[in-house]
Structure 1
């Protein structure tokens, strides 16, 4: 069973879930409406018998504080590094999903002493192009659209479920528990706020602000990408390009997944992590 805890980093309380003992594995969730208890429970359950698994809520998400200021990838990475320092966890296998994948990659560059192995899952940061071009930029600037969507999801589990069709390959096969987790999370009064601030920081007229495409050669640790074949947010070709350019890197593509592999296929995600985690 996962336990709950919190540490203070730069004046903000950062909540985390933890389970198991042994080699440390840290799981970073994605953006929009996400948190440790949304994306990671089935993976934690599968890994906890053999590893110490820690899944923090990123700054502004879940039960972590929502302080003012920009919510850029570098800021999130600094907070995650602070969590690892506070918990005396490094070096760890650092896993990140979507936005969390970009955060994990930034941590690996900024604090390589904390990262023994890097596992980005459908990560942000592998390209600059926005998925819907100028429309994505416009939506990032007109934040009321996101606020209205969150308000609608709060009133309807059916709408919440339908919205997940954009990040999963087969909505009909998505477990009810995954929908329930998102529906519970969207009830938080601050749901969506951190993501809106992230878009303010990271979405520009010219594309995503943070990209690692010119820094692939700087990653010094083994890196194992995992990517859904049907991901429409970040193309699998981006992950292939990164895996080809980063020293000691590889890529596994999940044929039946889109952007939310930890909930679409937790068995394959756990198996991938087990193969990536260095032996003690």
Structure 2
């Protein structure tokens, strides 16, 4: 684990694989940390330069006062990649991480060779719904929403697997301030117009049982980008990289080959 000091925020990040390899960058979802990607990283070719980081307000990154803007989250990713001298990466983002991916591609296409948008959208939910969640966390803490979040995150089969408590604990370990800060960023984001202007290789991934970003919503966003691909992972909810890591990784590796990022 390493800390990138970006001035107004300090981001915890981790590098795996080969320092001289072609870069792939992962951005986590709301309420998780960089360990969201553990099962996928274990399945990737070791000659890649694999970079993961905790979003501001999450994991071991610092927690600036809420609310956050999507522009700030995009700028965090931009400054981290500039500091690490990353260019032509494949950027993989899940949920809010996928929104950051869209915003970064629009702002700094020079940083990216391709885009993987997992369980995300150009616009997620309504401002009123996000405000209700913010109010609940502010008044009663993350525990007040944890059960509902787990239902949205995971498909029925995974709910019975005994692994859900681990991810509930992951949610509860996050900072309430960081969580509501990122809720505010999602609430204020509508990327339909800028994302429709993107022209780069893009893979979309959705879970058939996703209660947070339904598959049709993910497909609608991915279809904004000409030439994009879309893959539906069955028996998976909002975190298919956790529920179906073999299938998720296979889709990702196929995409990396197709764009020439691996042989």
TM-score category, normalised to shorter length? 0.7 to 0.9
Are the aligned partners of 2:141 and 2:176 in contact in 1 as well (CA < 8 Å)? no
Distance 2:226 2:184 in 1: 32
Distance 1:41 1:63 in 2: 16
CA deviations 1:86-116 (Å, max 9, x no partner) are: 1112220000000111011111111100011
CA deviations 1:54-107 (Å, max 9, x no partner) are: 110011110011123531221101000111111112220000000111011111
Distance 1:65 1:195 in 2: 12
Distance 2:50 2:161 in 1: 22
Counterpart of 2:32 in structure 1 is: 34
Moved more, 270-279 or 90-99: 270-279
Moved more, 193-202 or 173-182: 173-182
For the residue of structure 2 that corresponds to 1:40, the secondary structure is helix
The offset of 1:137, in angstroms, is 4.5
* Pairing partner for 2:140 from 124, 148, 157: 148
Q: What is the aligned-residue RMSD (CA, Å)?
A: 2.5
The offset of 1:147, in angstroms, is 5.5
Counterpart of 1:198 in structure 2 is: 182
1:219 matched to 2:198: yes
The offset of 1:162, in angstroms, is 7.5
Gaps of 5+ in 1: 154-159, 204-208
**CA 1:172/1:227 → structure 2, altered by over 3 Å: closer, same or farther?**
closer
Counterpart of 1:156 in structure 2 is: none
For the residue of structure 1 that corresponds to 2:117, the secondary structure is strand
**CA 1:255/1:77 → structure 2, altered by over 3 Å: closer, same or farther?**
same
For the residue of structure 1 that corresponds to 2:50, the secondary structure is strand
Are the aligned partners of 2:4 and 2:11 in contact in 1 as well (CA < 8 Å)? yes
Counterpart of 1:279 in structure 2 is: 260
Distance 1:151 1:197 in 2: 17
**CA 1:28/1:199 → structure 2, altered by over 3 Å: closer, same or farther?**
same
**CA 1:218/1:147 → structure 2, altered by over 3 Å: closer, same or farther?**
same
Are the aligned partners of 1:6 and 1:15 in contact in 2 as well (CA < 8 Å)? yes
CA deviations 1:162-197 (Å, max 9, x no partner) are: 852221112546765664254156245xx2321211
Distance 1:161 1:141 in 2: 16
The offset of 1:40, in angstroms, is 1.1
Counterpart of 2:150 in structure 1 is: 164
The offset of 1:51, in angstroms, is 1.7
Are the aligned partners of 1:164 and 1:171 in contact in 2 as well (CA < 8 Å)? no
Distance 1:216 1:185 in 2: 29
Moved more, 109-118 or 48-57: 48-57
For the residue of structure 2 that corresponds to 1:25, the secondary structure is strand
Are the aligned partners of 2:11 and 2:62 in contact in 1 as well (CA < 8 Å)? yes
Distance 2:112 2:42 in 1: 22
Counterpart of 2:107 in structure 1 is: 110
Give the TM-score, by structure 1 length.
Answer: 0.82
Are the aligned partners of 1:8 and 1:14 in contact in 2 as well (CA < 8 Å)? yes
CA deviations 1:222-246 (Å, max 9, x no partner) are: 1110011222222222222233331
Runs of 4+ that moved beyond 6 A: none
Distance 1:200 1:91 in 2: 30
Report how many residues are paired. Answer: 257
Gaps of 5+ in 2: none
